[in-house]
Amino acid sequence: MPELPEVETVRAGLSTILPGCKIVSVVSDNPKSFPNTQTDVDKFLIGSEVIAVRRRAKVLMIDLSSGYSLVIHLKMTGQLVYVGQQRFGSGHPNDSLISKLPDKSTRVDFGLEGISGADNQQARLFFNDQRKFGWVKLISTIDIPNIDFMQRVGPEPLGPDLSADILFTRLQRRKNTTIKAALLDQSVLAGIGNIYADESLWGAKIHPATLVKDLTKPQVSLLYKEIVFVLSLAIEQGGSSNSTYVDAMGKKGSYMNFARVFRREGQACPRCQTTIVKSRVATRGTHTCPSCQSTSG
């Protein structure tokens, strides 16, 4: 999926568009994508107004005036795309993509109405998801912190609750596995996925197959800095688009122009010119420089 930078980009886009809009209709073709009862839809969704759009880890929350929120996980191929009147600060839409919506990947179709002044034109918000792993759930806003995922998920990597020391401590719960598996474990820290795991490990010159217990504190310190650097750069670039990811206006992200190893097998390492290789670590496709990322640490 969309990892933290992609979800954050979607959040930022939706937060310039949705607040103040009223949800007037919803249609879904797949109960796994939208597993809510008609009763809850009628009581807590239809007719309610969007108050705010938030993110925690890779989860989006659209808070509603009803006291409920649309809690959304994009998983691997989810998209949330707004189609309608342009709003201030939302940027220019990708017309060639949005003109084709809804399409066969559309799982949920929200009808929206602006409620402020003259801006009452009809608009739509599409939840598209080719692989149907993602979901949109109506959950009472005050209960969101109690759902299993929120109870388990670790600190935000760009927030005040994570530091090099805290990362070192939290990694100890996965000390007998590889650092890549540990970074992908959302209970250690939130928001890292396959792209940014490979990118930050390259930055810290750590091989992804290195066991956590073999990492020194200075190595973890450097890794923390690289995580912050990579995620911040990716947010600036609007995320990474390898295949399906687009933002709220249907536009692709440009981080892949800056990627050092991810999906660059066969190319030269930007640090030492050694050919980048692809292997399998933690059951995931993994990209490394065999020269400057040493397994032993």
In this structure, what token pair is assigned to residue 3? 């990892």
Give me the catalytic one of 3, 6, 8, 226: 3
In angstroms, what is the minimal distance from the CB of 66 to DNA? 24
Please state the separation of Cα 232 from the chain's center in Å.
13
Within 13 Å and on the Cβ side, how many CA atoms surround 100? 9
Report the DSSP beta bridge partners of residue 78: 129
Nearer to DNA, 24 or 258 (CB): 258
Q: Which of 114, 193, 203, 250 binds DNA (CB under 7 A)?
A: 193
Asked whether position 8 contacts DNA by CB under 7 A, the answer is no
Asked whether position 3 contacts DNA by CB under 7 A, the answer is yes
- What stretches of 85-153 adopt beta strand conformation (E)? 106-114, 122-129, 135-140
Question: Measuring CA to CA, which residue among 67, 70, 176, 179 is closest to residue 127?
Answer: 70
Q: Which of 155, 245, 249, 259 binds DNA (CB under 7 A)?
A: 245
Please state the separation of Cα 56 from the chain's center in Å.
9
Cα 109 to Cα 114: distance, rounded to the nearest angstrom: 16
In angstroms, what is the minimal distance from the CB of 221 to DNA? 21
> Could you tell me which stretch among 116-124, 228-236, 237-245, 266-274 binds DNA (CB under 7 A)?
237-245
Task: Report, in angstroms and rounded to the nearest whole number, the Rg of the chain calculated over CA atoms.
Answer: 20
Cβ burial, residue 132 (10 Å; 0-12/13-18/19+): middle
> Could you tell me which stretch among 107-115, 128-136, 222-230, 267-275 binds DNA (CB under 7 A)?
128-136
Residue 128 φ then ψ, to 5°: -105, 145
In angstroms, what is the minimal distance from the CB of 120 to DNA? 33
In angstroms, what is the minimal distance from the CB of 129 to DNA? 9
Q: Which of 22, 75, 137, 260 binds DNA (CB under 7 A)?
A: 75
Asked whether position 100 contacts DNA by CB under 7 A, the answer is no
| 31 part of the active site | no
Asked whether position 258 contacts DNA by CB under 7 A, the answer is no
Residue 137 φ then ψ, to 5°: -120, 135
| 3 part of the active site | yes
Cα 192 to Cα 188: distance, rounded to the nearest angstrom: 10
Q: Which of 120, 152, 161, 165 binds DNA (CB under 7 A)?
A: 152
Quick check: helix, strand or coil at residue 198?
helix
Residue type, 108: V
Asked whether position 174 contacts DNA by CB under 7 A, the answer is yes
Cα 176 to Cα 178: distance, rounded to the nearest angstrom: 7
Nearer to DNA, 2 or 84 (CB): 2
> Could you tell me which stretch among 17-25, 91-99, 138-146, 275-283 binds DNA (CB under 7 A)?
275-283
| 218 part of the active site | no
Residues that bind DNA (CB under 7 A): 1-3, 6, 32, 57-58, 73, 75-76, 104-105, 130-133, 148-149, 152, 173-178, 181, 184, 186, 193-195, 239-245, 280, 282-285
Which residues have a catalytic role annotated? 2-3, 58, 284
